[in-house]
Amino acid sequence: MLNCIVTKFGGSSLASDEQFRKVRSILDLVPARRYLVPSAPGKRFSGDDKVTDLLYRCHALASEGKSFDAEFASIEERYVDIARGLHLRLPVADHLAEVRRGIAEGKGRDWCASRGEYLCGLLIADYLGWRFVDAADGIVFRDDGSLDDAKTQEKLSSLLADGVSSVIPGFYGALENGEVRTFSRGGSDITGALVARAVNADVYENWTDVPGFLMADPRIIERPAEISSITYNELRELSHMGASVLHEDAMFPVHRSGIPTNIRNTNKPYHPGTMISKSAPQEISVPTITGITGRKGYSVISIEKSMMNSEVGFGRKVLSVLEDAGISFEHMPTGIDSMCVVVASEALAPHQEAVLEKIRALVAESGSVTVADHLSIIATVGRGMVHNCGTAARLFSAMSRARINVRMIDQGSSELSIIVGVDDDDFEATIQAIYHEFVE
């Protein structure tokens, strides 16, 4: 029996009064759902505006001394429509007027953006008859804009210690002097995770408009299978390479506290979605692979140097050239007298000449340095691979049957993923070959 569930609802789940009604019925279904973290109202249809985007535009116009009347009118209309549709008594017009005044008076960009969640929180709290707890009182940022994790935990947990059902708006918090700061875009996911940790929730439910995680990108695989359970470590590998449903930073607080995250779909409230946990439940048979993801647009810097193997510190010198240029490397397969460094082409391009020159100087006359572009990296991730021999063999045979040339191989030491590099032109075909080998 679950005691305490924290729910976070994304923008599309709160885009209209109709969506608000769905949220209430989801909460009514399970009394343990006692905390709610809302995003700002999102798109109602494709081409619609997200309230957060409108707020950023209002702030930009106001700071150029231009009129932001039209943008603000669209924001007003969104909240007034919801309040009217739900017959709320809340003085929405007064709250909106206060926000408008703040923007006109030159309040900061973060304050302006945060008002989307703030107003949405006031509305949903009024609709549910729950307490409104301002995130500015519980989520603490440092002056450099980073989250003060320890202070946040202390403040939030004492604010919510009485167990009263509460709404805590997502996306923002404040510096110790009260000045509002936001997370990066999509940051309400992080607020939800922090609230879940503060109240020591049994589950953190993240309600969106998708059925959970899919095994592959539906633009590449037609109707890919859904992932019903996944570990935080697997998800980290998958999201690093492209799959994104959840803000990357939202995993850490809950992961560390051992609280599972359940991705759910507001439009299908009975669908179990995807359960993300520290160590997935011992299913009778864990599927060999959990998901496949990847990205195009990498470059490989190939370095050859005779006797590289015996030169202590050579790898470090190469990596410091990249570090000095602010380039993070993705993979680094090595041979005896050769090494390759895989980096995002976009990051390398502006520094390519300087970086190559410095690496050439390290190699001197006894070797060579070349760059090849248009590499895609594909990660096949699965905790089930540890227990199954022959996974790599199956993966590479599938690629060979599809006549795909493997340009790079890297198997994580965690045995959680097999990473292959292929030509950008083979990107889709590789994902299809691997998916069909392991899934259907």
Contacts with ligand ASP, residue ranges (CB under 6 A): 11, 39-40, 50, 52, 116, 170-171, 185-189
DSSP one-letter string for 273-328: -EEEESS----SS--S--EEEEEEEEEEEEEEETTGGG-TTHHHHHHHHHHHTTPP
CA separation for the pair 113, 124 (Å, rounded): 18
Burial of 38 from C-beta contacts in 10 A (0-12 / 13-18 / 19+): buried
Minimal distance, residue 115 CB to ligand ASP, in Å: 10
Question: Considering beta carbons, is residue 40 or 58 the nearer one to ligand ASP?
Answer: 40
Question: Considering beta carbons, is residue 197 or 331 the nearer one to ligand ASP?
Answer: 197
The angle, 0 to 180 degrees and rounded to 10, between the axes of the packed helices 69-85 and 17-29 is 50
Minimal distance, residue 12 CB to ligand ASP, in Å: 10
Question: Considering beta carbons, is residue 76 or 424 the nearer one to ligand ASP?
Answer: 76
Minimal distance, residue 171 CB to ligand ASP, in Å: 4
Question: Considering beta carbons, is residue 166 or 188 the nearer one to ligand ASP?
Answer: 188
User: CB–CB of 301/340 below 8 Å?
Assistant: yes
Give how far Cα 283 sits from Cα of 215, 231, 439, Å.
18, 13, 17
Q: CA angle, 239 as apex, 238 and 240 as ends, to 5°?
A: 95
Question: Considering beta carbons, is residue 60 or 319 the nearer one to ligand ASP?
Answer: 60
Give how far Cα 250 sits from Cα of 190, 205, 259, 301, 340, Å.
4, 12, 12, 33, 32
Minimal distance, residue 56 CB to ligand ASP, in Å: 9
Question: Considering beta carbons, is residue 187 or 273 the nearer one to ligand ASP?
Answer: 187
Question: Considering beta carbons, is residue 113 or 375 the nearer one to ligand ASP?
Answer: 113
Minimal distance, residue 320 CB to ligand ASP, in Å: 36
* Bridge pairing between strands 261-265 and 203-208: parallel
- Amino acid at site 402: A
Minimal distance, residue 196 CB to ligand ASP, in Å: 15
Q: Where are the beta strands (DSSP E) in 196-246?
A: 203-208, 229-231
Give how far Cα 127 sits from Cα of 44, 87, 166, 208, Å.
20, 9, 12, 20
Question: Considering beta carbons, is residue 189 or 437 the nearer one to ligand ASP?
Answer: 189
Minimal distance, residue 55 CB to ligand ASP, in Å: 9
Give how far Cα 286 sits from Cα of 226, 313, 439, Å.
14, 41, 13
Residue sitting closest to ligand ASP (CB): 188
Minimal distance, residue 107 CB to ligand ASP, in Å: 17
Secondary structure of residue 257 in the 3-state scheme: coil
* DSSP structure class, residue 9: E
Question: Considering beta carbons, is residue 11 or 260 the nearer one to ligand ASP?
Answer: 11
Q: Which residues pair with 341 in a beta bridge?
A: 301
Minimal distance, residue 187 CB to ligand ASP, in Å: 5
Residue 157: both structure tokens together: 């947990």
